[in-house]
Amino acid sequence: MSILPQLAFLLVFAIAGFIIYKRVSYLKRNIFLGKGETRNDQPEKRWKTMLLVALGQQKMFKRIIPAFLHLLIYVAFIIINLEVLEFIIDGITGSHRIFAPFLGAVYGISMNIFEFLAIAVLVSCVAFLIRRNVMKVERFTKPEMKGWPALDANLILIIEIILMFAILTMNATDQILASRGVEKYLLLDGLFFSGFIQPLFVGMSDATLVFIERFAWWFHIVGILAFAVYITYSKHLHIFLAFPNTWYSNLKPKGEINNMPEVTNEVNMMLGMATESSAEPPAEIGRFGAKDVNDLTWVNVMNAYSCTECGRCTAECPANLTGKKLSPRKIMMDVRDRAEEVGKSLDAGGPGFEDGKSLLGDYITKEEINACTTCNACVEACPVNIDPLSIILQLRRYVAMEESGTPAQWNAMFQNMETSFSPWKFPPTDRFNWADQVKNEETK
C-alpha cells in the first residue's frame, strides 16, 4: 500500500502548523508593542466573565435573531471540529473512519448530528450574506467597512458554506461506495441530510465516486487548515482571542475612569499626602496619554485584535447616531492597522514607530475623539468586552496635556476646575450662594 497520501497529509499539516506558529508569534509581538499592564485580580470573577461572555455568548443575545444564527455556527464550529480529530488520525495512518468500528451505532448518530449542524451553518451563512449584501444592515455599511473588511466578512461566510458542502458530498459518495461493498467503506445507519444529494452520484462508476469522495475529504481537511491560517489575518481572530480578551476585561464599574498614576502622585505630593512610590524618586514621565500604539497598554492592543467588526458599538454610539465622525469600531480597527503597520516595518528592518506616522493624526483624528461623550455605550454593547473608551481617553489626554490642543471651551473649563474647583468661573466660597437664595425665597 502506498504511503504517499500519509506523507502528503503530514507535509500539509506541518506547513499549516508552521505558518500558524509564525503568525501567532507575530501577533503576540504586535500585541506586546503596548505598555505593560497587570490584570490578574479577582480570578474567580475573571473566569466567570470569560465563561459567560466568550463561551456562553451572553451579550450576543441582546439581538436575538443574529444571536441565534451565530450560536448555530458557533456550536457547529466546536462540535464538527471533533470530527477533525478523526480526519487527522485517518490522514496519518491511512485508515478510513477509524472511530466507526469502536462506536458502532453511536457513530452513525454522531454523523447525523454533524450533518444537521452542517445544514444549520449553511442556512446561517446564507442568512448572514443576505443581511450584509441584500438587506444592507446599516452597521455593516459604515465607511470603515468598505473594501477589505466587507470582503473579509463575505469570504469567511462563503468558505464556510463550501466546507459544509464538502462534508455532505463526502458522506454521500462514501455511503454509495459502502452500499456497493467497496473495500474500506463502511455502511452507516442512514445519514439523513447527505442522503438527499446521493441521487446526484448514483449513476457514477466506483472509480469516479472514490475520486469525488477523496477529493471532498482532502478539500475539507486542507480547507480547515487553510481556514485556521486565514483566521490569523482576519477579523475572525476573535474566535480564539475572545477568551483571553474577556478574561482580561476591565472589572471596574463602567463609569469609573482610571486616573493617571503620574498625575495622582503629583497631586498627592502637592497636598502632602503619601504617594504610591514615596520611598523612591519619581520616575521620569515619558508621555502623558497616548499618541501611538506603544503608548497604549497591551490589553488595548489585544482588544483591537479581538474586534469582531460587528459594529454593535458604533450602532449604540450617540455621537455616531447624531452624525459625528466617531465610530468606536473604527477606533479599534485603526489601532489594529497601526500595530500591523509597525509590526511589518520591524520585520522588514524598517523604522517601526519612527516612520513619521502615529496613531493619533494619521489614523484617528481629534474630531473623532472629541465627539466622544464617555457614556460607555460602546463598552456595554461589545459582545467580547472590548473597551474603545479607554483608548479614546488616552488619546484625549495626550491632546490636552501634551499639545494643549483641546477646544477653547474645554480649556476654559479645565482652567476653572484648576482655579475654582468646578467647571464654572466663580470662587469656591460662593458655591452655595444659590442654596442661600433658595432658602431666603422660601422664608418670604
- Residues 71 and 77: their CA atoms lie apart, in Å, by 10
Residues 137 and 217 placed together within one structural domain of the fold: yes
The answer to whether residue 48 sits within a structural domain is no
Residues 315 and 203 placed together within one structural domain of the fold: no
The answer to whether residue 305 sits within a structural domain is yes
- List, run by run, the mean pLDDT of 10-residue segments along the chain (444 residues): 84 94 96 93 95 93 90 88 85 89 88 93 96 94 94 94 93 93 86 92 94 94 92 92 96 86 78 62 69 96 96 96 96 97 96 95 96 95 96 94 86 82 80 78 72
pLDDT for 359: 97
Residues 358 and 315 placed together within one structural domain of the fold: yes
Residues 12 and 105 placed together within one structural domain of the fold: yes
Contact 108, 189 (CB under 8 A): yes
Residues 84 and 18 placed together within one structural domain of the fold: yes
The answer to whether residue 371 sits within a structural domain is yes
Where does 236-282 have alpha helices with state H? 238-247, 261-270
Q: 3-class SS at 304? A: helix
Residues 401 and 342 placed together within one structural domain of the fold: yes
pLDDT for 276: 60
Q: 3-class SS at 249? A: coil
- Residues 421 and 360: their CA atoms lie apart, in Å, by 30
- Residues 426 and 4: their CA atoms lie apart, in Å, by 86
Residues 314 and 397 placed together within one structural domain of the fold: yes
Q: Which long-range contacts (CB under 8 A, 24 or more apart) does 197-205 make?
A: 197/168, 197/169, 197/172, 198/172, 200/172, 201/172, 201/173, 201/176, 202/176
Q: 3-class SS at 79? A: helix
pLDDT for 1: 52
> What CA–CA distances, in Å, run from 267 to 262, 264, 309, 381, 394?
9, 5, 40, 35, 19
Residues 355 and 225 placed together within one structural domain of the fold: no
Identify the domain containing residue 257 by its residue range. Answer: 250-264+286-406
* CATH number, position 352: 1.10.1060
* Total structural domains within the chain: 2
The answer to whether residue 103 sits within a structural domain is yes
The answer to whether residue 375 sits within a structural domain is yes
The answer to whether residue 439 sits within a structural domain is no
Residues 219 and 257 placed together within one structural domain of the fold: no
The answer to whether residue 293 sits within a structural domain is yes
Q: Please state the pTM of the whole predicted model.
A: 0.87
pLDDT for 240: 93
Residues 96 and 133 placed together within one structural domain of the fold: yes
Residues 173 and 109 placed together within one structural domain of the fold: yes
Q: Within the chain, what is the greatest distance between any pair of CA atoms? A: 108
Residues 125 and 212 placed together within one structural domain of the fold: yes
The answer to whether residue 427 sits within a structural domain is no
